[in-house]
Structure 1
Amino acid sequence: MDRKKIIEIILSQGKYSEEQKEIIKQLEESMLEWEAAKSCFQQVSDAKLIDFAIYREDQAKAKYVYFLSQAKAKGVTLDASYMIEELSSGSKW
Structure 2
Amino acid sequence: MNKNLIVEFLMGKIDYSKEDQQIIDGIEDAKLEMQVASCMFESVNDPQLIEVAIYSQEAAKKRYEYLLSLAKERQITRAITTFY
With the shorter chain as reference, the TM-score category is 0.7 to 0.9
CA RMSD, Structure 1 to Structure 2 (Å): 1.9
1:56 aligns with 2:56: yes
Gaps of 5+ in 2: 1-9, 80-84
Over 4 Å off, 4+ runs: none
Measure how far apart 1:62 and its partner are.
0.7
Q: What per-residue deviation string (whole Å, max 9, x for no partner) do you get for residues 10-67 of structure 1?
A: 9x73521111111101111111111101111111111111111111111111111111
Gaps of 5+ in 1: 1-9, 80-93
Q: TM-score, normalised by structure 1?
A: 0.67
Q: How does 1:73-92 map to 2 (within 5 A)?
A: 73-78=73-78
